[in-house]
Structure 1
Amino acid sequence: MSEDHSAGIGRNTLLFIATSLVTAVIALVTVPAYLSVIGAERFGVYIVALLVVGYFALSDLGLGTATENAVARMGPDDVDLRSATVWTAVALSVALGIVGGIALIGVSWLLFSTVLSLPDGLRAEAQDAIPLFAACIPLLTLWSVSEGAINGQERFVAVNMLDTVRLTALQLLPLGFAYWWGPELVWVAAGILLALSISILCSFAATVELVLAPRRWARPRRGLAAPLLHFGKWISVTGLIGPILAVGDRLIIGAIKGPVAVTVFSIPYNLASRLLVVPFSLIRVTFPRFSAIGAEESQVLGAKTLAVLAVVTAPFAVLGASVAPPFLEWWIGEELAT
């Protein structure tokens, strides 16, 4: 792999890390605000709802990654094929998102009605918000395809700008709705739905201009659907199993101890997960490159990537473990921190 490619990967990885740090700073400010506005108990239910929404967003069956791979493998002259591929993925993602949203309604109703230990008033709030959370799923599956297409073109500046808009809106709009209209979960869910709607409008406009132009529209092709789903199914297997392990602990905690315990567990868990910013950023930059290059270059790139991860992440993990207890007390207060 050339030095230019290595330097480009380094620069773009730093760009993704910078974006993640910006949104992390926003989270540092908004988490205490959420606890103040909606309370620790309601915030715990909100966390569980977000976990369920995030899981059912995987109903796209890996189409976002499959689209990214397909676009990355195309040359600059494959204008018609690229447009048809993206529009085929869009059609599939909307259909799968609708199915996922319907499934979320049933699972969430069972979860909030019988599994989680909730006061009656909060249980009714959660049930009222379920349709709004379900409406988020088609938007998330569509966003996955849109951002995958842009990432496949290696338009990383645009991807980071879109991520900043999306993550900032998802932090601020639900909080704003809760502050102005009330702390009930239905208003928080409405804020999430609006944030995702704004995000997908921005993302899709960027996809049309940066990926599809000059062929901005093409009829979806049935023959292109099978390769996308075939590639995506291998991604979705990992995507479906991993979140079960990640979500399961909080569901068990919520069922046994209630939503406040979910809040107490989730805040430090989410803080520790920020350490994954470096590997995730590196993966997002290198994946389209892996798709575009040959096997020999892929081995070299893979070795360099693993070396960078080992050198960078270990010191941050040690430092984070050292400063976490006093930081949590300062951030969310001694009662929740301990």
Structure 2
Amino acid sequence: MALPPHVVAQEQGIDVTLLGTGDPVPRVDRFGPAILVEAAEYQLLFDAGRGVTQRLVQSGYSLSDIDVVFITHFHSDHLSGLPDLWLSGWLPPPWGQRSEPMRMVGPEGLSNILDGFRQAFDPDIQIRLVDEQLPPRGIEFDLREYSEDGVVFDEEGVTVTAFAVDHGQYIKPSYGYRVDYGGRSVVLSGDTRFDENLIEAARGADVIIHEVAAAREEMLAFDERIQLILDHHTTPEEAGIVFDRVSPKLALYSHLTLLSSPDSPEVTVEELIQRTRTNYSGRLLVGEDLMRLEIGESVSVYRFPY
């Protein structure tokens, strides 16, 4: 598949684009969680939060370029962009024209969600099959579900391994992913508390992309659910411990849950870094939408516009 003009393909490297670095709060600067990983000839999408189609197009990709979509868990902010990607990627060119089933990988239970999408949009699908004569196979799903840690994708030297993470007592299943190709690797934490299983899965990785949550002290009195939300995620201090034990070439925050109210502004990027530095002194960045990484002997970082 043709790469966007700003991309120089690597022989044995991994390219990563942060399509969305936000949380459930609707923001124009941070869209919903979504990360594009490119290795060999594959374009792999991890989660499909709000606005993923817009960010893909903004990056220069056709929606039908995505080879496989991997889902970490079933919270809506990680899935709300999926129907748009699925349906719009099926439409005629230039941005769609998917003619084969959309490949999906995710925890057991994803099939129920995809069945619901099909039922919800069946009237539209039936119209387009007749009116526009779109290819019937292009609106189907090719799904692989799993229920335990292990390799969930292994093609052309590209390996994707799923590992369970702890997102809270009732938020199961929940997984992170590790992508390996050509001696390079990137780990995506998914949504998680501090988790030893993630640390083990991330050992030796070049890059770890980790979620983070933070709020100012006065926010805890604003709503009792603030502490509940924080308890489902990783603090900057805890993430620093993870990074210190993994020792990647680059530690990067994405899926930022920065809780605020009219009387309590959100924690700043500088404060996130400062709090992480209590436990980690290595290379650290806070992700931005459309930030791009090239993982090779070293890790290069490009901010949008490239």
TM range (shorter): under 0.3
**Structure with greater strand share of residues:** 2
**Structure with greater helix share of residues:** 1
Q: Please, what TM-score do these two structures have when normalized by structure 2?
A: 0.25
Bigger-Rg structure (1/2): 1
Q: Please, what TM-score do these two structures have when normalized by structure 1?
A: 0.24
